[in-house]
Amino acid sequence: MSTLESSVPSSGTARTGRSTRSGLPLLALALGGFGIGTTEFVAMGLLPDIAGDLGVSEPTAGHVIAAYAAGVVVGAPLIATVFARVPRRILLIALMVAFTVGNGLSAVAPSYPLLMAARFLAGLPHGAYFGVAALVAAHLVGPDGRGRAVGRVMLGLSVANVVGVPIATWIGDDLGWRWALALVVVIGIATVAAIAAWLPHVDVPASNPVAELGALRNPQVWFALGTGVVGFGGMFAVYTYLSTTLTTVTGLSQATVPLALAVYGVGMVAGNTAGGVAADRSVSRTLVAGLVAIALVMLAFAGLVHIAAAAFVVVFLVGFTGAGMLPALQTRLMDVAGEAQTLAATMNHSALNIANALGALLGGAVIEAGWGYPATGLVGAVLAVGGLVVVGVGFATARPRTARPPRART
């Protein structure tokens, strides 16, 4: 049994008591996810504006997305290890302060190299925030509701695609991309205030750098992380170039793109909610079914995105299937991490941002090779199948656990 599982009550009474006190704390944590999701995804829709303002090509401007992802990849394990002994509430506030400062610097960056550096800094707190927030959320509600609690934290990321990204994209199109990032700064300030006001001092078991680094010796942690890198890469291959795909292939006007992004976000909200419930029933089945669904949806995207009505349906399903796997993947890492809960949980978001960079790279490669924007869906399907292979090998080589949290049937 993991540290997290052994530290939370298993009785129905205790669980109910914790649930009644978790509403505002989970909302505060989700607000941080809302800000992170807004800044992460809005940059993809504003690449043409960034490129024009800074005098670079759109593919070159796309490197700012990779810079943010690199910040996440570096920051998550570094912060989780170095600050393992810091109380979780204080760490979450510090991470959101750093996130807000990084986005503020991005908004005022006068040149492309400085924007690259600022986006890297803005990405540093991303993975650590989500990882620590997921652990805190699971601790607040107890083992029976871990998947749903993690889903509620990640819901902020999903809602960002319904509200934050479309609004920020509209602001960026109307006032300039820098004002879109200024909106993220406001969200970051609000999150700091909400966590300070609503999140109690959570008694998550203390850790230390040596114990956290133990995660790196656990093959099951690497299989779970590999599932995120490969399985989610395809979703980012599609999403990175979604705005241009919808205007050049589907034939939508630029003014309609924010609506399509909102549809994607609605799919994420629905998928995140359903995925949290499914993860509490069976982590393994949710992961396998989710990857199969992603592969099928990506193939549908490649074949149907040129039809406007069908494109909106497929965009919804891309968001639904991708977000539907997130609670299960995060919960899987909690199950296999042992004493290295914080490092494993934060590294999940490093993995997802490697997937972000991988998807953007491979999607751009097939476009530049002349295959066209719909071919990003084919990249997504291939990567989803690769994710199935990784997760299958992971489950096949896992040792039976001697104890399991209630109702978490794997």
CB burial of 45-69 (b: ≥16 within 10 Å; e: otherwise) equals bbbbbbbeebebeeeebbbbbbbbb
Q: What is the Cβ-side half-sphere exposure of residue 390, based on CA atoms within 13 angstroms?
A: 23
Interatomic CA distance for residues 160 and 167, integer angstroms: 9
State the pTM of this model.
0.74
H or E element that contains 384: helix 375-397
Locate all alpha helices (DSSP H) within 241-340, ordered by sequence.
242-245, 257-281, 283-304, 308-336
Positions of the chain with pLDDT lower than 70, given as ranges? 1-22, 142-144, 202-208, 210-211, 215, 400-410
pLDDT tens figures, 363-385: 888 988 889 999 999 999 999 99
pLDDT tens figures, 27-64: 999 999 999 989 987 887 788 888 888 888 877 887 88
Specify the amino acid at residue 374.
P
Burial class of residue 202 in the structure, from the number of CB atoms within 10 Å of its CB (0-12 exposed, 13-18 middle, 19+ buried) = middle
Interatomic CA distance for residues 296 and 289, integer angstroms: 11
pLDDT tens figures, 288-331: 999 999 999 999 999 999 999 899 999 999 999 988 888 888 88
**What's the CATH number of domain 3-397, 3.40.50.1820, 1.20.1250.20, 3.50.50.60, 1.10.760.10?**
1.20.1250.20
Interatomic CA distance for residues 132 and 254, integer angstroms: 38
Enumerate residues 6+ apart whose C-beta is below 8 A from 193.
Answer: none
pLDDT tens figures, 244-257: 899 999 998 888 88
What does the DSSP 8-state code read for residue 282? Answer: -
